[in-house]
Amino acid sequence: MQNNILITGVGGQGIVLTSKLIAATAMAHDIPVMSAETIGMAQKGGSVFSFLRLGEGLHCPMFPEKTADIIIAFEPAEAVRMLGYLKDGGKVIVNTHPIMPVTAALSGSSYNGTEMMDYLERHVSDLRKVDGEAACKAVGSPRALNMIMLGQAIRCGVLPFTIDDIEQTMKATVKPQFVEMNSKALRME
Amino acid sequence: MHKEFLMGNAAIARGAIAAGLNVVSGYPGTPSTEVLETAAKTNDGSLYVEWSVNEKAALELGAGAAYSGARTMVTMKQVGLNVASDPLMSLAYIGVKGGMVILVADDPGPISSQTEQDTRHFASFSKLPCFDPSSVQEAYDMIQTAFEFSEKYHTPVLFRPTTRVCHGYASIEVKDESECIKNQPEGFVRDPSKWVIFPRLSYAAHMHIEERNKELSDVFSDSGLNKVCPAKGCKKGIATHGISYTYVSEALEGKENVSVFKVGTPFPFPEKAAVEFLTGLDEVLCIEELDPIIERELTYVCGKYGLSTKIYGKLTGNVKTAGENTCASVAENIADFMGWEKPAKTAADDVPPLPVRPPVLCAGCPHRASFYAVKQAMKGKKSVFCGDIGCYTLGNAMPLDMVDTCLCMGAGVNITQGIGKIEPDTNCFAFVGDSTFFASAITGVVNAVYNQADMTLVVLDNSTTAMTGHQPHPGTGRTMMGQVVDKVNIEQVLRGIGVQTVETVDPLKLEEAVACVKRVSAEKGVKAIIFKSPCAVLIKGKAPAVIDHEKCVNCKKCINSLGCPGLVIKDGKVSIEASLCTGCGLCSQVCPFGAIGGGEDAE
């Protein structure tokens, strides 16, 4: 049994930590894991992704197009950008709140995410939309987005873990003062 | 043994430590940086770790330690080896006593480098054995083997991962503390016939090296570092290496009848293993990143041994000649070669235009202010702005548009000198960061002073090596051994080498900064401005700026002059992105209507 997971978004949204938590949880369950992600200059406001693979017999951290079981997208356009990796019938969990590129103000771009959401609606049969902004407000922290998205991903049943499993790893990873906020985020319906 | 989830670079460091590492030195450079950082983090006090001033210094320090019997690792990116190539070429002749691994990370793509140079060429050029790992686990195991070979054959060896191995993560088997080797260096034993390079010694050493490499080619063929996986009755084969080997494995999953040759030691090339692989094959496809080295070697082996196998790859146009391979590109290359049906491409033609997200200088970055100040001061004057390697290369982006040249570490100083010799009426500027200044710009300034250049040196001093993730350097007063030491003072260095005018100014005080540039650049000869302000990522920002929408006329001068990610348009109006703004105050100094407050001005 293998799982190919693609996490995507914009630098600064907490994608790398999300990937690390899934990997650590897999390790705790004796599941082999590999990952690869954007590192360096592109992290600054650029498109960021993390490829994550769980299971036996893995060759490389990156997986071919059309093989992701799930795409966890923290931003609508980034979901569209990476959609070629989704396998037929795969799941997409997307935060509907768009992030303007830092150069949008200069170029006069009117990007607001609606075109991207329309595209996803047309092309993804199993699409779960998350209003990340509203959910963060409900949790009480703009930094809760990654745990909200991760909680949603766990809940849809593709990953071989429960929320409790992830929560246990999270408690061992984040600073004590952030545990409560992150637990709340993981459990946001 | 136990399992850990490690980044490739961390696995390399941990493998080196398991092999009895005593000394590690290097200069930061993507994708190699985390090797030395991991070694420093896991240092129990028995290891000497340093960020050297540049790769040449790092390699020379490593050589001295290895002469003294220490197991030594030197880390750098591929272009760093160009800087270290002078000691490398000679050290190959002298050899070492303690095991010495020179870790050079290559960057196919390139993703964050100036060139796509292939360090495997440097291996054959310097005649040094080279190891090429294909996965995180193999990197951990192979670096230990590399130390064994180095010590056994008294030669430094090259260890060459690429970005996807360096930055890939995997759960791997690592040794327990008790299984790790502890090496006690003997110390330096004086022997001028061994450690002093002379033409006569070099002749003898050259003879010896050629003999040794012949032997190593055989040893490597039988070592398991190179793998021949024959397929029964098969007439076609694939030769590959590094991360591409994993893409090939991925593409061949569930397929039969293809022989595979994985080359783990590109130099000395494992000829015997190659002959074993080629025998009986009609055609071979070489899947490589960077240069067609395996392809040339196999073509040569076919000629030498009279084999009729046809060799395909980059040289024959079957594999693209530049850029990195991917799972998809390799699957396609193999399908073409085997005559298999090609993997279907996702042909979605109604994709809406995607927002482009290029890297930009961070909100609050003092480099933005420095570039803007020089731009203002030089308005209407004929000027050239030579850039250098670092975050500040991003000053080339609109609207700043302040980088006319960028070549390699420290090059801007003498490039601007050269332009000035041809265009004496041009105001010549060279921008260089503090870490790059120490790494390789100081000698350039000496050259400019001595040869009577007319130019302004602008040192962008943010007190860190920001681009590669904030490593300390001689100007920061911190070392990788945790010591707090005297800072090497850039202003004093410049005065010491004869720069008469050196002014230090905070670029975020715009008016002062512009006046300083006008004043200093008007002087003759070599003069310098040090723009001193800490990296915005490392300081606690001030309260975000606030726009007074009564005063703001939406002229967008702030946005169009500065291009700061903290300045956005919301509902048609110029606004502050509070999550990014550091309150640096630059935009409030640019606004002609006094409409931006808060931040720096807030009491």
pLDDT at res. A112: 84
**Position of tokens 């080339």?**
B396
Backbone angles phi, psi at B71, to 5 degrees: -80, 125
CATH 3.40.920.10 fits A3-186, yes or no: yes
CA dihedral of residues B548, B554, B557, B559 (deg, nearest 10): 80
Find the closest chain A residue to B560 by CA distance: A106
* A145–B contact, CB cutoff 8 A: no
Nearest to B58 by CA among B29, B93, B20: B29
Q: Which of residues 147-166 of A touch B (CB under 8 A)?
A: none
pLDDT, one tens digit per residue, over B560-577 is 999 998 998 888 899 998
What is the number of alpha carbons within 13 Å of residue B168 lying toward its C-beta?
Answer: 28
Name residue B110's amino acid: P
**Which residues neighbour B524 within 8 Å (Cβ) at sequence distance 6 or greater?**
B454
Given A64, A102, A106, which is nearest B331 (Cβ)? Answer: A64
* Confidence at residue B348, expressed as pLDDT on a 0 to 100 scale: 67
Residue of A32, A46, A80 lying closest to B171 (CB–CB): A32
pLDDT at B466 over 80: yes
Residues B453-462: tens digit of each pLDDT:
999 999 999 9
Query: Residue A40 has what pLDDT?
Result: 63
Confirm if B475 and B448 have CB atoms less than 8 A apart.
no
Least confident interval from A8-17, B21-30, B294-303 = A8-17
**Got the DSSP string for B425-452?**
TSEEEEEEEHHHIIIIIHHHHHHHHHTT
Please, what is the average pLDDT of chain A?
91
CA distance A187 to chain B (A): 25
Which has more pLDDT, B602 or B84?
B84
Closest chain B residue to the Cα of A46, Cα to Cα: B357
Tell me: the pLDDT tens digits for A69-108?
999 999 999 999 999 999 999 999 999 999 888 777 777 7
Give per-residue pLDDT as tens, B27-37.
999 999 999 99
pLDDT in tens, B408-441: 999 999 999 999 999 999 999 999 999 999 999 9
Residue-wise pLDDT for A116-158, tens only, equals 999 999 999 999 999 999 999 999 988 899 999 999 999 988 9
Q: What is the pLDDT of residue B307?
A: 97
Q: Which residues of B503-536 are buried (b: 16+ CB within 10 A; e: fewer)?
A: eebebbbbeebbebbeebbeeeebbbbbbbbebb
Q: Would you state the torsion angle of the CA atoms of residues A154, A159, A163, A164, taken in this order, to the nearest 10 degrees?
A: 180
Interface check for A66 against chain B (CB to CB < 8 A): the answer is yes
* B359 vs A: CB within 8 A: yes
Spatial CA neighbour of B185 closest among B67, B30, B35 = B67
Chain A residues lying within 8 Å of B250, measured CB to CB: 59-60, 63-64
Give the B window 8-37 contacts with A, CB below 8 Å: 30-31
Q: Cα(A134)–Cα(A140) distance, rounded to whole angstroms? A: 10
Question: Model confidence over B180-226: pLDDT tens digits?
Answer: 999 999 999 999 999 999 998 999 999 999 999 999 999 999 999 99
pLDDT on residue B240: 98
Long-range contacts of B196-202 (CB under 8 A, 24+ apart): B197/B90, B197/B93, B197/B94, B201/B93, B202/B93
CATH class of B227-342: alpha beta
Helix (H), strand (E), coil (C) string for B515-578: HHHHHHHCCCCEEEEEEECCCCCCCCCCCCEEECCCCCCCCCHHHHHHCCCCEEEECCEEEECC
Question: Which chain A positions have a beta carbon within 8 Å of B108's beta carbon?
Answer: none
Assign B502 to helix, strand or coil: strand
Q: Residue B150: how many CA atoms within 13 Å on its side-chain side?
A: 37
Residue-wise over A148-174: b if at least 16 C-beta within 10 A, else e?
Answer: bbbbbbbbeebbebeeebbbebbeeeb
Amino acid identity of residue B384, one-letter, is V
Alpha helices in B222-270 (DSSP H): 242-252
The one-letter amino acid code at B53 reads V
Chain A residues lying within 8 Å of B354, measured CB to CB: 77, 80-81
- What stretch(es) of chain B map to CATH 3.40.50.970? 2-197, 366-532
B178: pLDDT confidence band, cut at 50, 70 and 90? very high
Q: Where are the domains of chain A?
A: 3-186
Identity of the residue in A24, A42, A64 whose CB atom sits nearest the CB atom of B359: A42
Q: How far apart are CA B212 and CA B219, in angstroms?
A: 10
Q: Which strands form B383-386's sheet, in the order they lie side by side?
A: B383-386, B427-433, B455-461, B526-532, B501-505
Q: Are B83 and B6 in contact (CB under 8 A)?
A: no
Length of chain B: 603
- Which CATH superfamily includes the segment(s) B2-197? Thiamin diphosphate (ThDP)-binding fold, Pyr/PP domains (3.40.50.970)
pLDDT at B95 over 70: yes
Q: What angle do CA B43, B8, A81 make, to 5 degrees?
A: 135
d(CA B275, CA B279): 6
pLDDT, mean over chain B:
95
pLDDT at residue number B46 = 94
Q: Which residues of B touch A10 (CB under 8 A)?
A: 357
| Positions of E strands within B268-380 | 283-287, 310-312
What residues of chain A, 112 to 141, have a C-beta less than 8 Å from chain B? 115-116, 118-119, 122-123
pLDDT at A42: 59
- For chain B, the first-to-last Cα distance in angstroms comes to 58
In sequence order, the β-bridge partners of residue B505 are: B531
Put simply, whether A24 touches B (Cβ < 8 Å) is yes
Q: Cα dist. A28→A31, A160, A161, A173, B420 in Å?
A: 8, 12, 11, 13, 63
- Write down the CATH number for the domain with range B545-598: 3.30.70.20
How many Å lie between the alpha carbon of B341 and the closest alpha carbon of chain A?
16
Distance between CA atoms of B325 and B109, rounded to whole angstroms? 8
Identify from A20, A53, A81, A106 which residue to disrupt to test chain B contact, counting B C-beta atoms within 10 A and taking the largest count.
Answer: A106
Q: Which of A39-43, B270-274, B489-493 shows the lowest per-residue confidence on average (mean pLDDT)?
A: A39-43
CATH 3.30.70.20 location in chain B: 545-598
Q: How confident is the model at residue A180 (pLDDT cuts 50, 70, 90)?
A: very high
Give the mean pLDDT of B254-263.
91
Sign of CA dihedral A53, A57, A62, A64: negative
**What DSSP designation does A71 have?**
E
Q: Are B359 and A62 inside 8 Å of each other by CB?
A: no
Residues 467-486 of B with CB under 8 A from A: 467-468
Which of chain A's residues have a Cβ under 8 Å away from the Cβ of B173? none
Residue B599 pLDDT level (bands cut at 50, 70, 90): low
* SS3 assignment for B162-188: EHHHHCEEEEEEECCHHHCCCCCCCCC
Report chain A's C-alpha Rg in angstroms.
16
3-state secondary structure of A108: coil
Tell me which residue has tokens 């771009």.
Answer: A109
Specify the long-range contacts of residues A175-178, CB closer than 8 Å, at least 24 apart. Answer: A178/A143
Which architecture, in CATH terms, is B366-532?
A: 3-Layer(aba) Sandwich (3.40)
AA identity, residue A73: A
More confident call, B175 vs B341: B175
The pTM for the full model equals 0.95
A64, A104, A123 member nearest B355 (Cβ):
A104
How much is the average pLDDT of A27-36?
Answer: 94
The Cα-based distances of B584 to A100, A130, B53, B595, B602 in angstroms read 22, 34, 30, 15, 11
pLDDT band at B255 (very low <50, low <70, confident <90, very high): confident
- Residues facing A120 on adjacent strands: none
Beta-bridge partners for B598? B545
**B249 in A contact zone (CB under 8 Å):** yes
Residue B216: in which H helix or E strand, if any? helix B199-221
Instruction: Say whether B169 and A35 touch across the interface (CB within 8 A).
Output: yes
- pLDDT value for B489: 97
Residue B272 has pLDDT above 60, yes or no: yes
| pLDDT recorded at residue B347 | 63
CB distance from B329 to chain A under 8 Å?
A: no
CA distance B356 to chain A (A): 7
- Give me the interface pTM, i.e. the ipTM: 0.92
* Chain-chain contact of B568 with A46 (C-beta, under 8 angstroms): no
Cβ–Cβ below 8 Å for A61 and B170: yes
pLDDT exceeds 70 at position B603? no
For tokens 């401005």, the residue is: B529
Q: Does A60 touch chain B (CB under 8 A)?
A: yes
pLDDT attached to residue B290 = 98
DSSP helix, strand, coil percent of chain B (3-state; round to 5): 40, 20, 45
Of B164, B326, B346, the CB nearest to A66: B346
The rounded distance, in Å, linking the Cα atoms of B170 and B163 is 14
Q: Which chain B residues touch A60 with a CB distance below 8 Å?
A: 135, 164, 168, 243, 246-247, 249-250, 327
Contact check, Cβ <8 Å, B346/A111: no
pLDDT for B299 equals 98
Is the per-residue pLDDT at B407 higher than 50? yes
Per-residue pLDDT, B602: 42
Q: At what angle do helices A163-173 and A179-186 cross, to 10 degrees?
A: 160
Check if B349 contacts A (Cβ < 8 Å): no
Q: From chain A, pick out residues whose CB is under 8 angstroms from the CB of B344.
A: 66
Please tell me whether residue A136 adopts helix, strand or coil conformation.
Answer: helix
**pLDDT of A43:** 61
Pairing of strands A3-10, B157-159: unpaired
* Mean of pLDDT values over B278-305: 97
Which residues of B fall within a CB distance of 8 Å from A84? 346, 348
How far away is chain A from the Cα of B467, in angstroms, using its nearest Cα? 7
- Measured CA to CA, the distance from residue B74 to residue B101 in angstroms comes to 7
The residue to which tokens 């022989």 are assigned? B259
Cα atoms in the Cβ-side hemisphere of radius 13 Å centred on B436: 30
Q: How many CA atoms lie within 13 A of B72 on its CB side?
A: 28
| Distances from the Cα of B182 to the Cα of A50, B63, B185, B568, angstroms | 37, 20, 10, 57
